[in-house]
């Protein structure tokens, strides 16, 4: 039986997020459905960002090319949106130029935040493609915030691109014409790299960046209670008009 919100709380935890005129984002921890948000002194603007619905790794050299995480059908439980799992583990180690990381979102996005668990030490440039209904097309104006000294996935950061107008939803099964590919329906993004990654490259978590800038308005010195539909919402992002602030978030886990 599905829960109805608000429902009884079973666990709470808190964290702070520094806000400024530059967007700050944070993934919602796994199994949390509510939050109390507060910021003193400084008004802020807030977005609820699309959920990550699936994450899969394509290992071109493997016999079973669509890599699972343990007994799971995908990397979803280990990587997004703020998982307590093991991240991508060893699946991205020594990733070749024919390997791919596929990420499925509940809605179109303008990028994602990547929390790198084990940094890549090889020089390599990231590429991103989306599905336009007939093929995977390169995104426009790709900016890789994980790159350092010419090495992608070398630090935490945002991977962003121009908002896409012809992104089409569907299953990866249909898009790559492979019966063994995952059937999750949503907006798929494909990440690849121009040179092989090093022998210990891992992503710990990732979450979406909203494609819109028309965030909601919230006043300082007030508490705001949110209930999330985790099928559609996976992260928060916030900015302030001027100066800086500290967003205080109390995450609430509720009856499942």
Percent of the chain whose predicted confidence (pLDDT) is above 70 = 95
Count CB-CB contacts under 10 A for residue 103.
24
Half-sphere exposure of 252 (CA within 13 A, CB side): 16
Question: What predicted TM-score, i.e. pTM, was given to this entire model?
Answer: 0.93
Tell me, what's the pLDDT at 25? 97
List the structure tokens of 216: 């909601």
Tell me, what's the pLDDT at 148? 98
Q: What is the mean pLDDT of the chain?
A: 93
**Domain boundaries along the sequence of the chain:** 14-47+217-223+241-251, 50-209
| Cα 11 to Cα 7: distance, rounded to the nearest angstrom | 12
Residues of the chain below pLDDT 50: 1, 69-71
Percent of the chain that is helix, strand, coil (3-state, to 5) = 5, 45, 50
The answer to whether residues 103 and 186 touch, using CB atoms and an 8 Å cutoff, is: no
| Cα 22 to Cα 209: distance, rounded to the nearest angstrom | 13
List the structure tokens of 237: 């992002």
Q: What is the assigned CATH class of domain 50-209?
A: mainly beta
């Amino acid at each position: 039986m599905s829960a109805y919100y608000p429902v009884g709380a079973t666990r709470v935890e808190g964290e702070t997020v520094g806000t400024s005129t530059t967007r700050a984002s944070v993934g919602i921890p796994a199994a949390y459905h509510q939050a109390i948000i507060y910021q003193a002194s400084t008004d802020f603007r807030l977005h609820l960002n699309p959920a990550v619905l699936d994450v899969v790794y394509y290992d071109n050299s493997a016999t079973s090319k669509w890599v699972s995480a343990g007994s799971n059908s995908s990397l979803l439980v280990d990587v997004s949106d703020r998982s307590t799992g093991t991240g991508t583990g060893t699946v991205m180690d020594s990733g070749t130029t024919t390997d791919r990381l596929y990420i499925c979102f509940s809605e179109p996005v303008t990028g994602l935040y990547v929390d790198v668990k084990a940094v890549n030490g090889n020089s390599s440039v990231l590429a991103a493609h989306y599905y336009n209904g007939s093929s995977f097309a390169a995104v426009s104006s790709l900016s890789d915030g994980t790159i350092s000294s010419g090495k992608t996935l070398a630090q935490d950061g945002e991977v962003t691109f121009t908002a896409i107008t012809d992104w089409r939803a569907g299953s990866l099964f249909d898009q790559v014409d492979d019966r063994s590919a995952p059937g999750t329906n949503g907006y798929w993004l494909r990440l690849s790299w121009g040179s092989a990654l090093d022998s210990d490259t891992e992503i710990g978590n990732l979450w979406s960046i909203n494609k819109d800038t028309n965030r909601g308005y919230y006043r300082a010195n007030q508490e705001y209670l949110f209930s999330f539909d985790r099928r559609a919402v996976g992260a928060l992002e916030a900015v302030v008009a001027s100066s800086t602030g500290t967003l205080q978030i109390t995450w609430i886990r509720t009856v499942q």
